[in-house]
Amino acid sequence: MTEKHLQIEARFDRIIAQKMDAKLRAELDVLKPIWEGSPNYGMGAILEALRLCANKGVPLPLWLARAVHAELIRRAPKQALKHYRRWREVRTMRDLRPLKLETEKMRSGRSYSLFGAPYKEIDYEETFEWTAERLRKTSASGSTKAIRRSYGLVENDLPKSERYKRTYTKRSR
């Protein structure tokens, strides 16, 4: 890490420490080396530290937030994470819906300003194509068909109130 990152982390840790009483800080200071040094039982230290912070209503120290993140990543099924990442990208693309220039509606010989040219939003199928391209060199890469399948798996697992409608509607910009 760079010197600047270390300074930011130290400042963050000082702010968090100010929100904790001395007893809680001492308990967390005992749990941190257990997590760092015990590959088999460090998870117990993480859970205990998480419980302590939650019960006291204090933010997680940086080491604990990183530990929880690392354990979740290590233990989560890789395929489920891949499906989720694909679904999240499709949702992002659906929310942002990039505009495409409609060249067939443009007249030849006429110059258009950036805001005066005819545009249209990408459609349902193009969303998956754009997502596949965005994820091309990542661990979540896949074909358009794979992206569509992952999207469907996650979307169907959501409560009905959280699912997107199956059709697009034109939004005002």
**CA pair distance 166, 155, nearest whole angstrom:** 10
Radius of gyration of the chain (CA): 24
Residue-wise pLDDT tens digits, 97-108: 666 666 666 667
User: Which of the two residues, 8 and 53, has the higher pLDDT score?
Assistant: 53
Residue-wise pLDDT tens digits, 29-47: 899 999 999 888 889 999 9
Distances (CA, A) of 143 to 43, 95, 130, 132, 160: 37, 21, 11, 6, 27
Q: What is the pLDDT of residue 126?
A: 82
DSSP conformation letters of 67-117:
HHHHHHHHHS-HHHHHHHHHHHHHHHHHHH--EEE-GGGSPTT----TTTS
pLDDT band at 166 (very low <50, low <70, confident <90, very high): low
DSSP conformation letters of 41-55:
THHHHHHHHHHHHHH
Residue 91 pLDDT exceeds 90: no
| pTM of structure | 0.65
Q: Give me the percent of the chain exceeding a pLDDT of 90.
A: 36
Average pLDDT, the chain: 83
Residue that is written with structure tokens 């989560």 in the block: 76
**CA pair distance 99, 111, nearest whole angstrom:** 19
**CA pair distance 165, 106, nearest whole angstrom:** 32
pLDDT band at 118 (very low <50, low <70, confident <90, very high): low
